Structure formats: C-alpha cells, structure tokens
Structure 1
Amino acid sequence: MRKVVLYIAISLDGYIASPDGSVEWLPTADQDYGYAEFLASADATLLGRGTYEQILDSGSWPYAGLTNYVFSRQSPTQTPDASVQFVSGEALAFVRELRQQPGRTIWLIGGSTLASPLLTAGLVDELMLLVVPRVLGSGIPLWRHQAQPQTLQMLRTQTWPDGTVLLHYQLPKKG
C-alpha cells in the first residue's frame, strides 16, 4: 500500500500561510531543507483548490513530473499541465482507492481544509513538518479540528543553521 505524507512548512506558531494566503514569510530557496530527496520519493500530489491556485500564482507549474490531484467543487479555469487532474468527488474515498494503486509516496501538499479530514480518517501515514522560526501571530492554521488526540511516533529530526527544524513523525494506524 502506498503511503501518504503531509510534507509542509509551518511557522513556529502553527500557520501555513499569512491571513491573506501568502507564503512570503518562508525562507528563500538558498537552502533545500531535504525537499529534493523527499520529492524524488513521490510520484503523486494531493492539493486543495486554494493551494493549487497559490502555486499557479507563483509562476510555472513545478510538479509536471508527478500526477497531481486537485480537489475542488468548481470547474477548473485553467490547467497548466497535463499532469493535473481535478477531483470533484469525495476526498476520503478517492485517497483510499489511490493508496491501493501501485506507485510511490503520495505527497499531501495542502492545505489544511484537505489535510484535516485525511488526518482524522487515518489516511495520512507520516507528517514531515518543516518548522520555520517565524511567529506570524495569525493566518491560516495547519491544524483544524481533530476528532481525537493522536500520539505520534518520532522518526527523525533535522536542524539547519537558520533555525529551521524538520520534525518527521509516523501517525498511528487506524483500523
């Protein structure tokens, strides 16, 4: 069975974006932070509509080598690449089926509206949180309501000289 990994950058106070949805607070691309290695392990992405549009606004489509599933109730206005497929159906059923298909890691890019129900349903196997040493004070939180507390198992940590920390956890298996 394929695994789903939520690999995402968050501020120290738990936000994935500023209140206006921007991510200008993220570090510049001077440092890789393990991104290339992780990306090489994946062959598919899961994105919510807001995350998809934010990526489109930042330039050319960066994930053309992967199969990209964008969850949206609206019809797409544009598709930058043939690798992008829009999914209008129920996310949980779709991801359950996708995990059963042959392939490599499925990268849950975000956002929190998509990630939260997948976490609650036990469809996320690992969390890779890149904690950026910035306090935003407000914004779009990573953590939405979770039905039950979860105890995570630490797989590894890594730190960089700028204070950024990778926290890599395994989530408990659900029946």
Structure 2
Amino acid sequence: MRKVVLYIATSLDGYIASPDGSVEWLPTPPPGEDYGYANFLATADATLLGRATYEQVLSFGEWPYPTLTNYVFTHRPPAEPAHASVHFVTEDPTQFVTQLKQQPGNTIWLIGGSTLASPLLAAGLIDELMLFIVPQLLGSGIPLWREQPRPRVLTLQRTQTWPDGTTLLHYLLPGLVKSQVES
C-alpha cells in the first residue's frame, strides 16, 4: 500500500501561510541546502493539493511537478490545467485517497493546505508528517490544522535542525483501528 506524507513548512505558532495566503516569510535555504527536499521528492510519484494551494504554486511560475501525477481537489475546476500532469478531482478527498493508496506506486505527497489535510488526517489516511518548523511567529494566518474529531498519538521518527533554526519533526501516524473509526 502506498503511503501519504504531509511534507510542509509551518511557523512556530502553527500557520502555513500569512492571512492573505502568501508564504514570503519562508526562509531561503543557504546555498547547497534544500532541507532534504530533493531526497524526499525523489520518493514521490503523486501530489495532492487543494485548489488554493494549486493557485499559489501556479503563481510561482512554471509548473514545478511535471513528472508527477498531480491531483487538485476543487469544487470548481478551471477549464484547463496548467500542465498535462494536473488532474482536477471533484469527489470526496477521503474516498479518492483511500482508493489511490491501493494503487501501485510510490509516496503520495500531500502538499496542502489544511482544508485538504485535516479530513485526510481525521480519516487516518496520512501515514507520515514531515513538519518543517520555521522559527517565526506570524500571529495569524492559515492554520496548519483544522479541528480534529479525536486525539492522535504520533511516533517521532527523527528530527533535524539547520543552522537557521528551521527544524524538521518527522512523525509516523499509526492508522486508525476499526473501533476508532466507528466511534
């Protein structure tokens, strides 16, 4: 079974974007450093994005994931995708991702945002969290998580800290057992 990994940066106070959706506050890696991005990207063959995240990625210029299969969840798909690798999904994300995980392939990268990540987390469909904590306090913005229906216990896999203070917290999430789903 394929795994879903949320690989995302967040401010120390838990925001993934400024109130206007911008991410200009994210640090620029020092020369020769990418916070492990290239190694992670080499394991993935698909991405999951919400429509707002998709629009933000488009604003950066050329589509950055042309070799991956990209699924964008939206209620209002645009007339045409920015790239042939982009597929718009209008069905329920939890049902779609449950089926996608059963298909052959590599890691599925959940890029964001929180409107998409939260129901996938609640459904037990996220297998790993790779949270890059940026040492900044934004005070407000788009939160990493929306409300969750129950507490979840995470298992710390590893940590890594870079000289600029950015810290990776890599967690494993055990799947929900049937009794948790039914309650």
**Count of residue correspondences:** 175
What's the counterpart of residue 28 of structure 2?
A: 28
Q: CA RMSD in A?
A: 0.8
Gaps of 5+ in 1: none
Match of 1:112 among 94, 111, 114: 114
- Which residue identity is paired with 1:12? L
Taking the aligned partners of 2:103 and 2:10, their CA distance within structure 1 comes to 30
* TM value normalised by structure 1: 0.98
Runs of 4+ in 1 over 3 A off after TM superposition: none
1:18-167 residue pairs with structure 2 within 5 A?
18-30=18-30, 31-167=33-169
**1:75 Cα deviation from its structure 2 partner:** 2.2
**1:143 Cα deviation from its structure 2 partner:** 1.3
**1:79 Cα deviation from its structure 2 partner:** 1.4
Contact 2:29 2:35 in 1 (8 A): no
Gaps of 5+ in 2: 178-183
Q: Please list the CA deviations of residues 44-91 of structure 1 after superposition, one character each: whole Å capped at 9, or x if unmatched.
A: 000000000000011110000100000000021441110000000111
For the residue of structure 2 that corresponds to 1:33, the secondary structure is coil
Question: Percent of aligned pairs with the same residue?
Answer: 70
What's the counterpart of residue 170 of structure 1?
A: 172
- Which residue identity is paired with 1:85? H
Contact 2:48 2:71 in 1 (8 A): yes
- Which residue identity is paired with 1:4? V
Taking the aligned partners of 2:29 and 2:81, their CA distance within structure 1 comes to 25
**1:104 Cα deviation from its structure 2 partner:** 0.2
For the residue of structure 1 that corresponds to 2:152, the secondary structure is coil
Taking the aligned partners of 1:172 and 1:150, their CA distance within structure 2 comes to 9
